[in-house]
């Protein structure tokens, strides 16, 4: 990448209009390599750059790739109807990153129901969203399912063989399924229909009491990432998501 002015770097990362970004610099709120920069027009090589805005370190990211531990009681919508939006859990620069599309900021890669917890990816890379969401790419998603009634071998076999949902005559089957305990089912899917896990479990005569997504591809939700917390995805994280195919 070619060098960019500091105010343009801040603008590209979602810190506001160019005038706002210039003001942040002029007021001494921005540091690079530990030194305060007060010239909005100073040039920096953005690739690999980490800058500080009001005491918070920010790595330059041409595209943002994040993981979020979605808590219960939140909606994966910019305009939630009942519950708080997951986007309120993110810092403002990630919510306002400029895009060519009408919607700004990072977007959720697929959605989880308001009562579902676990691993959620967010990005401003449209191609990545399509690759991770399209059933043609068979990216496995692993769900930890708590059910109301005891799990039987027949239930597991039926989910693996395929069940018919009311809006699709073609059977939908799990890529993998195992009973972890009498009331804990681990279910792997490679497509994402509306309320799919709940409807599949209902189709075999049981009921979902709790639902948590623990992995996408080879990427497992880190144990040290608490509900409502987020972090940047590393290059190794991105590789893990495409390494596992069902």
Domain check: are 144 and 127 in the same one? no
Domain check: are 227 and 124 in the same one? yes
Antiparallel, parallel or unpaired: β 117-123 and 208-216: parallel
Domain check: are 73 and 118 in the same one? yes
pLDDT tens-digit readout, 90-143:
999 999 998 776 668 999 999 999 999 999 999 999 899 988 988 788 899 999
Domain check: are 149 and 101 in the same one? no
Most confident of 80-89, 125-134, 236-245: 80-89
> Can you give the CATH number for the domain in which 206 is found?
3.30.70.1560
For the chain, the domain total comes to 3
What pLDDT is stored for residue 69 in this prediction?
Answer: 98
Instruction: Tell me the average pLDDT across 10-16.
Output: 95
CB-based contacts of 219: which residues, under 8 Å, 6+ apart?
67, 119, 237, 240, 241
The alpha carbon dihedral of 5, 11, 14, 20 has a sign of positive
Q: Which of 39, 113, 166, 237 is catalytic?
A: 113
Helix or strand or coil: residue 74?
A: coil
Domain check: are 158 and 171 in the same one? yes
Domain check: are 170 and 182 in the same one? yes
Containing structural domain, residue 108: 65-135+219-243
What is the distance between the alpha carbons of residues 116 and 78, in angstroms, rounded to a whole number? Answer: 17
Domain check: are 78 and 129 in the same one? yes
What pLDDT is stored for residue 37 in this prediction?
Answer: 96
Helix or strand or coil: residue 26?
A: helix
pLDDT at residue 245 tops 70: no
**In DSSP terms, which residues pair with 142 in a beta bridge?**
188, 215
- Is 113 one of the catalytic residues? yes
Give the Å distances, CA to CA, from 77 to 35, 80, 93. 39, 5, 18
Higher per-residue pLDDT: 35 or 167:
35
What pLDDT is stored for residue 246 in this prediction?
Answer: 41
Question: 243 pLDDT band (50/70/90 cuts)?
Answer: low
Domain check: are 151 and 43 in the same one? no
Q: Which of 56, 32, 28 is nearest to 43 (CA)?
A: 32
pLDDT tens-digit readout, 132-156:
988 788 899 999 999 999 999 999 9
What pLDDT is stored for residue 169 in this prediction?
Answer: 80
Domain check: are 131 and 224 in the same one? yes
Domain check: are 21 and 53 in the same one? yes
> Can you give the CATH number for the domain in which 18 is found?
3.10.290.10
- For the whole prediction, is pTM greater than 0.95? no
Higher per-residue pLDDT: 134 or 61:
61
Q: Which of 193, 192, 198, 132 is nearest to 159 (CA)?
A: 198
Question: 35 pLDDT band (50/70/90 cuts)?
Answer: very high
pLDDT at residue 89 tops 90: yes
User: Which of 3-12, 51-60, 159-168 shows the lowest per-residue confidence on average (mean pLDDT)?
Assistant: 159-168
Antiparallel, parallel or unpaired: β 168-172 and 163-165: antiparallel
């Amino acid at each position: 990448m070619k060098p960019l002015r500091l105010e343009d770097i801040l603008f590209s990362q979602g810190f506001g209009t160019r005038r706002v970004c210039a003001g942040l610099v002029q007021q001494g709120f921005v540091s690079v390599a530990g030194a305060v920069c007060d010239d909005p027009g100073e040039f920096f090589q953005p690739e690999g750059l980490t800058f500080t805005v009001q005491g918070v370190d920010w790595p330059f990211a041409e595209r943002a790739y994040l993981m979020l531990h979605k808590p219960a009681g939140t909606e994966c919508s910019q305009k939630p109807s009942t519950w708080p939006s997951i986007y309120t859990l993110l810092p403002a620069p990630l919510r306002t990153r400029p895009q060519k599309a009408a919607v700004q900021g990072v977007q959720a890669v697929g959605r989880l129901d308001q009562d579902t917890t676990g691993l959620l990816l967010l990005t401003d890379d449209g191609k990545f969203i399509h690759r991770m969401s399209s059933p043609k790419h068979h990216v496995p998603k692993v769900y930890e399912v708590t059910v109301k009634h005891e799990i039987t071998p027949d239930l597991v076999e039926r989910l693996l063989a395929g069940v018919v949902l009311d809006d699709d005559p073609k059977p939908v089957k799990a890529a993998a399924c195992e009973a972890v305990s009498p009331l804990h089912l681990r279910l792997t899917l490679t497509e994402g229909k509306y309320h799919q896990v709940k409807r599949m479990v209902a189709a075999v005569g049981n009921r979902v009491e709790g639902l948590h997504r623990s992995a996408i591809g080879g990427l497992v939700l880190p144990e040290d990432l608490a509900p409502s917390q987020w972090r940047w995805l590393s290059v190794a994280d991105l590789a893990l998501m495409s390494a596992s195919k069902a």
